[in-house]
Amino acid sequence: MKNVVIFGANSAIAAACARLWVAQGCNLFLVGRNKANLQNLIADLRVRASADQHIEGMSADLNDLDRHGELFAQAEQQIGAMDIVLVAHGSLPDQKVCEQSVVKTIEEMSTNALSVVSLLTLAANRMEAQGAGVIAAISSVAGDRGRQSNYIYGAAKGMVSLFMQGMRNRLAQKGVAVVTIKPGFVDTPMTSHFEKKGVLWVQPETIAKDIVRVVERRCDVVYLPGIWRWIMLIIKHIPEAIFKRLSL
Establish if 164 belongs to a structural domain. yes
* 221-242 average pLDDT score: 96
By the 10 Å C-beta count (0-12 exposed, 13-18 middle, 19+ buried), 55 is classed as: buried
Contact residues for 240 (Cβ-Cβ < 8 A; gap 6+): none
Is the whole-model pTM more than 0.85? yes
Q: Is there a domain that residue 248 lies in?
A: no
Nearest CA to 21 out of 52, 58, 68, 53 is that of 53
CB 219 within 8 A of CB 49: no
Tens digits of residue pLDDT in 211-230 = 999 999 999 999 999 999 99
Asked which of 22-26, 43-47, 184-188, 227-231 is least confident by mean pLDDT, the reply is 184-188
Residue 101 within any structural domain of the chain: yes
List helix spans (H) across the chain. 12-23, 35-48, 68-79, 95-99, 102-109, 115-130, 151-171, 204-217, 227-236, 240-243
What's the average model confidence in pLDDT over 128-152?
A: 97
Return the pLDDT at 148: 95
CATH code, 156: 3.40.50.720
Residue 155, domain member (yes or no): yes
Residues 38-53: pLDDT tens digits?
999 999 999 999 999 9
Residue 27 located in a structural domain: yes
In-domain check, residue 61: yes
Tally of domains in the chain: 1
Q: Which domain holds residue 112?
A: 3-243
Residues 31, 20: contact at Cβ < 8 Å? no
